[in-house]
Amino acid sequence: MGREKKKYTSGAATTYISRTSAIKKLQLHIIDFRRLCILKGIYPVQPKDPKKAGRGARIPKTYFRLKDIQFLAHEPILWKFRERKSHKKKMKKALYKREIKTLQQLVKNKPTYTLDHIVKERYPTFADALRDLDDPLTLCSSFAVLRKNHKIKGELVPLCRRLIIEFMNYVIASRSLRKVFLSIKGIYFQAEIQGQQITWLTPYKLGYQVPKKLDLKIISTFTEFYTTLLGFVNFRLYHSMNILYPPKLFLSSSSTENKDGTSFCLDDEDVSERVASLALDLIKEKSTVNAEAADEEESRTKEDEELIAGANVDTEEYKKAKEEEAKLNKFKKLFENCKFFLSREVPREALTFVIRCFGGKVSWDKLLFIGATYDENDESITHQIVDRPQQAKQHLSRYYVQPQWVFDCVNAQILLPVENYFPGEELPPHLSPFVREKEGDYIPPEKVALLERLEGIKQSDLQASGSQDDEEEEDIIDDVGDDVEEFEAFDEEDLEGESQLMQAEEKRLQQMKEETEKTETGDGSVKKARKRKRKKKSLHVTPGEIIKTDEKEEARLEASQEMKLREMMIPKKKKYIYKKIRQKEQARAKRHKRLTTKREKYEEEQRMKKAEKIQE
Amino acid sequence: MASKRRSTREPSDIEEQLDFFVDAPPDDDEDDDDTSDDDVSFEDDGSGNDGSSSDEESVYSGLSELTDDDEIGDIITLKNDSESDEADESSAGEEEETESKKKITEEAEEKKLEEIETEKETQDSNDRDQRIKDVSSKKTAKKLEDKALPKKKLRNQKLLESHLNRLNEEKQETEEKDKFEEDKKEDKERTVDISSLPSSSNEKQETVDEYEYDSSDEEDIRNTVGNIPMEWYDGFDHIGYNVRGEKIIKPPTRDELDEFLSKVDNPDYWRTVFDKKNGEDIVLTDEDLDIIERIQRGKYPDATVDPYEPYVDFFTYEKMIHPLTRRPEHKRSFIPSLSEKEKVSKYVGAMKRGWMKTRQQFGKEQREKEQRDVYYNIWTNEEDTVLSKRQLSHIPAPKVRLPGHAESYNPPPEYLMTEEEKLMAKSKEEYSGRPRFIPQKYDSLRTVPFFRDFFRERFERCLDLYLCPRQRKLRTRFEAEDLLPKLPKPKDLQPFPTTLALLYVGHTSYVRSISVDPTGQWLASGSDDKTVRFWEVATGRCLRTLEVEGPVQCVAWNPNAAVSLVAFSIEDKVHIVNPKLGDKLITSGTDQLIADYKQPEEVKTSPLVEWFEAEEKKQEEGFRLCLKHFKPVRQVTWHGKGDYFSCVIPTGQNSSVIIHQLSKRRSQNPFRKSKGLVQCTSFHPTRPFFFVATQKHIRVYNLIKQEMTKKLLTSAKWISSIAIHPGGDNVIVGTYDCKLSWFDLDLSVTPYQNMRHHKQAIRSVCFHKRYPLFASASDDGHVIVFHGQVYNDLLQNPLIVPVKVLKGHSITNGLGVLCCEFHPNQPWIFSSAADGIIRLFS
């Protein structure tokens, strides 16, 4: 017999450490500890058995991993914290002693620290950093709208703005935006960068306010780290695209403000503002980049072919992937042939960002913001985005649409018809592109319509892919000078195609309906007739009444009974989960029902209103 | 205020001096530059000035003195307000206004004034002469004359002062003092101070020895009371004392009328000022008026002052070869300072350690910092990075939920809340304390405001990230369908009873027990209404009814088809009856069998059981035998051969199970000891095993070896009934705690499967003899039929599938179905309930 092992010398009791003891161990003030945890990304963990972790104590506590805390103890920034603390004391002392010279010296020698090593340590690979980019982007974009505050360092706000603008410029250059959503919380953007979905939210600017009760210190500590991270990510992203990192603009002499020649000696601020306008392309590192890209593409296709030849790849899958890619490429060029002009009242930055992400050209009133590339009177403008019901002067050569059109087009991945989006029109509902309806979920009728339309377009693509596409491409290549005509033609074609499709679809649906009706009615009647005939032949009495049995109802009942019997046999272990799932399903069904009834009611009301109007 | 006053007084004192000496040098300003250049300026400026200027100066100096008495402020206010008046009347100014008020002139007064005026004129002329003399013959000025001059001047000053006072007093009545104005006053004070400058600069022109005459202690000594408020003499008939100590008699007081008269008659009334101190009227000269006017306009009092004189540089920029002083430098300046040395060494140390930087160094560092790339490629060699164990155990924070349609700024109409829903949401919000999201619709994008809770949400996210304990949870996504066991469809498992076929109506109380004849033609049922009824299965007709003496606990048909006997228990008796149904041969054969019994010679009589033959009367009804037990019998069970049957006497302690043999009319008590509260017993269908169910366990006894072979552990609280599979290897047990347990005797002593399908206590369970079916009847009024397939292959577990829930029985007094029994040949089931009806499901 060995000696009895002491309690709490191994296992959960030693792998976890409570927060108070962690602070004691690190000899830090709680504020510094909090900062350190935020910067280093150390978070409390929930032990499997809290009682064991607390060495028998039942009081709920927050626990950290002991390894994490030991790791924190070796952090160089910890020493900087201590230095800062003593520096603060010195400053105070000098201030009270009125030693101005010392004070000045101290101010100059304020200990500073960088967070570079922490970024590398928290995100060992670039993919990790990209995966975690949602929060940094959201926080930085919310800080970018912030005004200077005594709680926030002065340089943080412009830094945040710069970084977010740089990131947006990258997204434009790489055309990696996928989804946008105008929520009442702000505007959601979703980009796909190197296979990672990155979603961020930017606030609206109208009526901005920061609640006074909020402790902005915590948020600004987060932001401090996030700016560092975002800077490195931006650098890496820019270099992956061969763009110069502190972004520089490709200023052509065609831009309106450069006629007087001042553009060639822009000062830094001007450049940064022009970058912020998002309207101009960034300079790539080498001029041969385009050729490289082309080469790359060629080589890739060659490789693919070789692979196929080697029969290592499933051709079917390959085809599918190819199709998908083609679709994506088309999506990326959604606004390629459009030229937009933004009115003063629309959110300039968001719209410019979205339009430029899909290859469109944008400009605005040059008094509104720097970087306007063409004037309102430019005849080649195809769309003007306005948000007021009435316009003073209208050009006939362009569509006046509300900003929602742009966002809806992106989410639908096609250019939607503009009729519903004319100024003053009641807009169709704006739907979230992030919702993936499962079976049994409620799908708003607008979405159903959109899906149907998309499918119709797909089919048409398959049918008439060869001829039309080629034609279009040729058109695009030919007409560079007189854009307007080409665009109009393009649009008309599109519209016509769509309308044709719609008609075809309708016809098909009608046919289907008729067929089904026929089969239903036909079957029933034929059977009944046969029965009658038999009876008449065999019995020659007045035909008895047929007991109507609702077959469907019976089948349903039977099925439900069967289901119940099966449910009875679920083992006890799984019964709880099963019940929960069922409850969820029921709740979903309930919600579905509620929403559908609401919608029906609304539509009924609308119809009534219409009828009243007509009567009047 | 005190310090300011002091500062204003100092120069004024000097000015006073200067005033008295017309040729006083201009050393009056606080500015160091001016004081330093006395000598040179005198030499440079030689051009003289006329006497008028000096005269003006005297008046001005008087004004400067006024600043001492805090009156200047009032003057200035006066000036401010009278500006508009000035525009109207150029010469008369404001004084005329006061004049107009007192239009009634007084001639007497006028005379006096005229006298004074003439006097003054002479004085003035004297003054002027004096000045001219001074200017022309600089060194011939006599002290006496000089003394007289200041006296006159002083008088003038005083007069001016008093006049101004009066004006002020009048003004004060009409106007209010504003703080703003006070500010202006202060400004004016400053202008006054500055204005003293040019006057002095004017003096420069006259090169006079400034120390020749000192008038600092000179003052108007006609009245010696000094600078006191003259109101103190209000009550006296004098106003002070002259140099000789004689009283100066107060001038006769003038009433309003006098005043008025003088106003009307005296053309100089408006420029007349009453000197309170000396008690006389003074008529202001034109120069005085000019000065007043200038002050009121905010100009320099002296017309000759040029505030923008060209600056004359005193020192030359050329380096002089000779030092200004001839004093040799001190020795200290050659010896290095110790304290400085210490300081330097300290700085050197600081610089070495990097605490202190020169400006150049600092600037360079800053520049370097700016030039250095803040960001670089931090992920250079990603492939080489090896994740530590700590990093591998990192739990990433969950991502923020993405928004749905309801969060859109323009959501579909069905997502918007109605008023009721909003109210609900509000109440919920109050209840939970967390703000709830309420969808909103905006007509256009431009009207969408900043989200109120935006920063709060960001803040909460941050809190979640660093405060919320994380735990890795493996969550497998289940579909409800996956959880359902994969069982064959009931349709494929037919036949089994599905529909209600017949009702056997007749009993009026609980039908506690039913039993089917082994041929399947007849059904016996015992009820609490003290009857035993025999039914024809196919028709539902009640063929016979036996009235008995008590409620029937249990009915059991002899399983031997060659014998027609039914046993039923009523309290402590067990009757054995020949129902005389069906084949006559069998019934008669049965009677014969019973009659053939020969009593053995030695009969063992037991106190527990007594065997009787039924009475004659009862013989006709069919009663054949009767066994009287010592305590009430609850259950009777036949052995498969039909010779033995066992009775359960739950309260019978160690003899709670008694096995009877019909052919020998013998009874035996198999157990010596009490095994607990026996609930029911059962014989094994083929082998000599005997099952005894106590409250919680089932004991299996080998009757031949007379030992217990197995003890089945049911984990139930109270067993109600058991049934043995016709194969003999499986047992089902129904319990009062709603459980139905299937035991596979080959497998283990614990249940193979527990099924809790009933909501209430299970009353009875049974197996079908031919089909793989079993059923359970419960107090909830349901009978559940299961498909229970047992395979010959030992490796294959029995397949248990519920196939049908039979409903129909009503619940009376909390009791539902009391007994169920399968038809021996057909897939039918009989069930008897507390409502007194027996149902046949087929």
Q: Domain residue spans in chain B?
A: 244-306, 404-445, 491-841
Nearest CA to CA, how far is B803 from chain A (Å)?
7
Report the chain B residue with the minimal C-alpha distance to residue A571: B485
State the pLDDT confidence band at A483, using cuts at 50, 70 and 90: very low
Whole-number Å distance between alpha carbons of A129 and A198:
11
CB-nearest partner of B483 from A38, A126, A574? A574
Q: Beta-carbon neighbour count of residue B419 at 10 Å? A: 7
- The model's pTM is 0.62
Nearest CA to CA, how far is A109 from chain B (Å)?
7
Percentage above 70 pLDDT, chain B: 74
Q: Give, to the nearest 10 degrees, the angle between helix A66-73 and helix A19-26.
A: 20
State the pLDDT confidence band at B61, using cuts at 50, 70 and 90: very low
Say if residues B149 and B131 touch (Cβ distance below 8 Å). no
Secondary structure of residue B784 in the 3-state scheme: strand
Q: Can you tell me the mean pLDDT for B83-104?
A: 43
Which residues in chain B have their CB less than 8 angstroms from residue A62's CB? 467, 469
Residue A321 is inside which H or E element, if any? helix A315-332
Q: Which of B454, B474, B492 to mutate to test the interface with A (most CBs of A within 10 A)?
A: B454
Cβ–Cβ below 8 Å for A124 and B397: no
Report the chain B residue with the minimal C-alpha distance to residue A605: B413
Model pLDDT for residues B306-320, shown as the tens digit of each residue: 888 888 777 777 888
Cβ–Cβ below 8 Å for B469 and A43: yes
Q: Can you tell me the mean pLDDT for B53-81?
A: 40
Which residues in chain A have their CB less than 8 angstroms from residue B389's CB? 67
Task: Determine which of A246-260, A315-329, A382-396, B469-483 has the lowest per-residue pLDDT on average.
Answer: A246-260
Strands B666-668 and B657-661: antiparallel
Q: Can you tell me the mean pLDDT for A238-242?
A: 89
Model pLDDT for residues A124-136, shown as the tens digit of each residue: 999 999 999 999 9
Nearest CA to CA, how far is B755 from chain A (Å)?
8
Q: How far is CA A193 from the centre of its chain?
A: 12
Report the chain B residue with the minimal C-alpha distance to residue A65: B390
In DSSP notation, A112-135 reads ----HHHHHHH-SSHHHHHHT-HH
Whole-number Å distance between alpha carbons of B665 and B600:
10
Say if residues B114 and B105 touch (Cβ distance below 8 Å). no
Cβ–Cβ below 8 Å for B490 and A37: no
Cβ–Cβ below 8 Å for A581 and B483: yes
Report the chain A residue with the minimal C-alpha distance to residue B407: A183
Ordered alpha helix ranges (H), A41-155: 50-53, 66-73, 76-97, 100-108, 116-122, 126-131, 134-144
Report the chain B residue with the minimal C-alpha distance to residue A19: B467
Cβ–Cβ below 8 Å for A387 and B413: no
pLDDT reported for residue B4:
40
Q: Which one has a higher pLDDT value, B162 or B688?
A: B688
3.30.420.40, 2.130.10.10, 2.40.110.10, 2.170.130.10: which CATH number matches B491-841? 2.130.10.10
Cβ–Cβ below 8 Å for B451 and A204: yes
pLDDT at B203 over 70: no
Cβ–Cβ below 8 Å for A186 and B454: yes
pLDDT at A609 over 90: yes
Q: Beta-carbon neighbour count of residue B523 at 10 Å? A: 26
Percentage above 70 pLDDT, chain A: 78
Nearest CA to CA, how far is A235 from chain B (Å)?
6
State the pLDDT confidence band at B336, using cuts at 50, 70 and 90: confident
Q: Can you tell me the mean pLDDT for A176-181?
A: 94
CB-nearest partner of A566 from B382, B454, B487? B487
Both structure tokens of B265: 């008659």
Nearest CA to CA, how far is A486 from chain B (Å)?
30
Model pLDDT for residues A335-384, shown as the tens digit of each residue: 988 999 998 889 889 999 999 999 999 998 888 888 888 888 888 899 99
Q: Which one has a higher pLDDT value, B435 or A352?
A: A352
Task: Determine which of A390-394, A552-556, B323-327, B658-662 has the lowest per-residue pLDDT on average.
Answer: A390-394
Q: Beta-carbon neighbour count of residue B789 at 10 Å? A: 16
Residue pairs between chains A and B whose CB atoms are closer than 8 Å: 255
Q: Which of B650, B694, B473 is nearest to B554 (CA)?
A: B650
Cβ–Cβ below 8 Å for B397 and A236: no
pLDDT reported for residue B117:
52
Residue B636 is inside which H or E element, if any? strand B635-638
Any residues with CB less than 8 A from the CB of B227 and at least 6 apart, and which? B69
State the pLDDT confidence band at A529, using cuts at 50, 70 and 90: low
Q: Beta-carbon neighbour count of residue B620 at 10 Å? A: 10
pLDDT at B5 over 50: no
pLDDT reported for residue A35:
92
CB-nearest partner of A236 from B379, B442, B483? B379
Which residues in chain B have their CB less than 8 angstroms from residue A567's CB? 484
Which residues in chain B have their CB less than 8 angstroms from residue A449's CB? none
CB-nearest partner of A595 from B414, B458, B756? B414
pLDDT at B447 over 60: yes
- Give the per-residue SS3 of B8-54: HHHHHHHHHHHHHCCCCCCCCCCCHHHHHCHHHHHHHCCCCCCHHHH
Task: Determine which of A300-314, A597-611, B266-280 has the lowest per-residue pLDDT on average.
Answer: A300-314
DSSP letter assigned to residue B707:
E
Nearest CA to CA, how far is B349 from chain A (Å)?
14
pLDDT reported for residue B29:
40
Q: Which of A166, A172, A176 is nearest to A231 (CA)?
A: A166
Q: Beta-carbon neighbour count of residue A546 at 10 Å? A: 10
Q: Which of A184, A216, A228, A235 to mutate to test the interface with B (most CBs of B within 10 A)?
A: A184
Q: Can you tell me the mean pLDDT for A168-177?
A: 92
pLDDT at B217 over 70: no
pLDDT reported for residue A263:
43
In DSSP notation, B492-558 reads GG-----SEEEEEE---S-EEEEEE-TTSSEEEEEETTSEEEEEETTT--EEEEEE-SS-EEEEEE-
**A47: β partners:** none
CB-nearest partner of A432 from B407, B453, B490? B407
Q: Can you tell me the mean pLDDT for B421-437?
A: 85
Report the chain B residue with the minimal C-alpha distance to residue A579: B480
Whole-number Å distance between alpha carbons of B267 and B111:
11
Which residues in chain B have their CB less than 8 angstroms from residue A218's CB? 459, 462-463, 466
Which residues in chain A have their CB less than 8 angstroms from residue B490's CB? 562, 565
Report the chain B residue with the minimal C-alpha distance to residue A133: B399
- Give the per-residue SS3 of A151-209: CCCCCHHHHHHHHHHHHHHHHHHHCCEEEEEEECCCEEEEEEECCEEEEEEECCCCCCC
Residue with tokens 């918007």: B416
Q: Which of A183, A352, A180, A165 is nearest to B449 (CA)?
A: A183
Task: Determine which of B207-216, B272-281, B672-681 has the lowest per-residue pLDDT on average.
Answer: B207-216
CB-nearest partner of A565 from B350, B459, B490? B490
Cβ–Cβ below 8 Å for B356 and A105: yes
The mean pLDDT value of chain B amounts to 77
Q: Can you tell me the mean pLDDT for A195-207?
A: 91
Nearest CA to CA, how far is A107 from chain B (Å)?
11
Q: Can you tell me the mean pLDDT for B799-825?
A: 90
Any residues with CB less than 8 A from the CB of B332 and at least 6 apart, and which? none
- Which burial class, exposed, middle or buried, applies to A131 when counting CB atoms under 10 A from its CB (0-12, 13-18, 19+)? middle
Which residues in chain A have their CB less than 8 angstroms from residue B452's CB? 209
Q: Which of B438, B455, B464, B740 to mutate to test the interface with A (most CBs of A within 10 A)?
A: B455
Q: Beta-carbon neighbour count of residue B545 at 10 Å? A: 13
Which residues in chain B have their CB less than 8 angstroms from residue A566's CB? 484-485, 487
Q: Which of B745, B671, B659 is nearest to B707 (CA)?
A: B671
CB-nearest partner of A598 from B362, B387, B414? B414
Cβ–Cβ below 8 Å for A429 and B405: yes
Q: Which of A275, A278, A414 is nearest to A353 (CA)?
A: A278
Q: Can you tell me the mean pLDDT for A299-313?
A: 60
- Which burial class, exposed, middle or buried, applies to A275 when counting CB atoms under 10 A from its CB (0-12, 13-18, 19+)? buried
Which residues in chain B have their CB less than 8 angstroms from residue A142's CB? 454-455, 458
Nearest CA to CA, how far is B759 from chain A (Å)?
12
Model pLDDT for residues A397-450, shown as the tens digit of each residue: 889 999 999 999 999 988 989 988 998 888 999 999 999 888 778 888 888 888
Q: Which of B387, B415, B437, B445 to mutate to test the interface with A (most CBs of A within 10 A)?
A: B445
In DSSP notation, A489-537 reads HHHHHHHHHHHHHHHHHHHHHHHHHHHHHHHHHHHHHHHHHHHHHHHHH
Whole-number Å distance between alpha carbons of B614 and A208:
104
Strands B680-683 and B689-693: antiparallel
Residue with tokens 């809770």: B453
Q: How far apart are the first and last CA of chain B?
A: 120
* Residue A502: φ, ψ to 5°: -55, -45
Cβ–Cβ below 8 Å for A43 and B485: no
pLDDT reported for residue A1:
65
Say if residues B101 and B167 touch (Cβ distance below 8 Å). no
Secondary structure of residue B338 in the 3-state scheme: helix
Q: Can you tell me the mean pLDDT for A65-75?
A: 92
Cβ–Cβ below 8 Å for B456 and A183: no
pLDDT at B176 over 50: no
Whole-number Å distance between alpha carbons of A344 and A264:
28
Q: In what order do the strands lie in the sheet with B609-613?
A: B552-557, B566-570, B573-577, B623-629, B609-613
Which residues in chain A have their CB less than 8 angstroms from residue B485's CB? 566, 569-571
Both structure tokens of A249: 């603009």
Whole-number Å distance between alpha carbons of B141 and B131:
10
